[in-house]
Amino acid sequence: MLESERASSEYKEALEIRRNLYGQMPNVYTPDLANTLINLAIFYKQFIINREKSIEYVIEALILLRPIVEVIPFTQSYMQRAIQVLRNWGLNDDKEIERLIEEKMKETGEDTA
């Protein structure tokens, strides 16, 4: 197994664990889940080079972070990292980023208000 395949498998396992913990206690595990999603987005940007997956993970992280970023100050750095991943993919238009977030929220049935 290639090192990148092994790393991908480990990240996916970590994501599954974080999703399960988030499902049990979202108020506690939202930052951890968002951080894991951002790390996966970076992994798919730098090592596997999969734009669609990378952007999908980072958009999910942004959706999680938006409601908590003002009340949990350390998550501001997560938000900045997430935005930087999008910028690195050439998504520099804030309106386009907002459209992607809203599209994902509609797709998952989350409230866009």
Query: Could you tell me the residue ranges of all domains in the chain?
Result: 3-108
3-class secondary-structure state, position 81: helix
Under the banding of pLDDT at 50, 70 and 90, the label for residue 18 is very high
Chain segment 46-104, per-residue pLDDT in tens: 999 999 999 999 999 999 999 999 999 999 999 999 999 999 999 999 999 999 999 99
Q: First-to-last CA distance in the chain?
A: 45
Distances (CA, A) of 44 to 23, 39, 73: 24, 9, 27
Q: What is the pTM of this model?
A: 0.92
